[in-house]
């Protein structure tokens, strides 16, 4: 799929730090309970850590107890790309930024008590956060 932000892997590697590159471009996962956005509670906007595309609003973030920031829906259905991921001997749904194709995390149908029933389990390092100005 062609993305509106299209860079070579060398360009991504130069722009992103080693850890960000591993998660965003190689689908690695940061360790649970270590991400700096896990406990972020301010109102604001979450964007792609690679290209800056808008992905999630703070009002959809919830404490799922899984160790990664969780959201029950993306800012728009077309903001993210959902792909079947059968790595690690299981079938999951990978979530990528629809603007640049970077790996963000996975979505699971176990967001109990949320309006959608979904849990977008995202890597903190794959996101940037901008608090609302008030």
Annotated catalytic residues are 121
Q: Which tokens sit at 67?
A: 């160790």
72: nearest Cα among 127, 116, 124, 122: 116
Q: Which tokens sit at 101?
A: 């194709």
The residues, ordered by sequence, that sit 6+ positions from 61 with a Cβ below 8 Å of its Cβ are 40, 46, 69, 70, 71
Tell me the C-alpha distance between 69 and 66, whole Å.
8
Task: Count the helices and strands in the chain (H runs, E runs).
Answer: 2, 9
């Amino acid at each position: 799929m062609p993305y509106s932000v299209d860079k070579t892997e060398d360009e991504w590697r130069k722009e992103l730090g080693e850890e960000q590159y591993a998660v965003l471009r190689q689908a690695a996962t940061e360790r649970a309970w270590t991400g700096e956005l896990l406990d972020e509670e301010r109102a604001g906007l979450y964007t792609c850590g690679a290209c800056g595309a808008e992905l999630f609003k703070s009002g959809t973030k919830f404490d799922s107890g899984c160790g990664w920031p969780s959201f029950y829906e993306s800012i728009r259905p077309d903001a993210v790309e959902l792909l079947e991921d059968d790595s690690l001997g299981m079938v999951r749904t990978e979530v990528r930024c629809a603007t640049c194709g970077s790996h963000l995390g996975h979505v699971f149908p176990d967001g109990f008590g949320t309006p959608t029933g979904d849990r977008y389990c995202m890597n903190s390092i794959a996101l940037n956060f901008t608090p609302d100005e008030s």
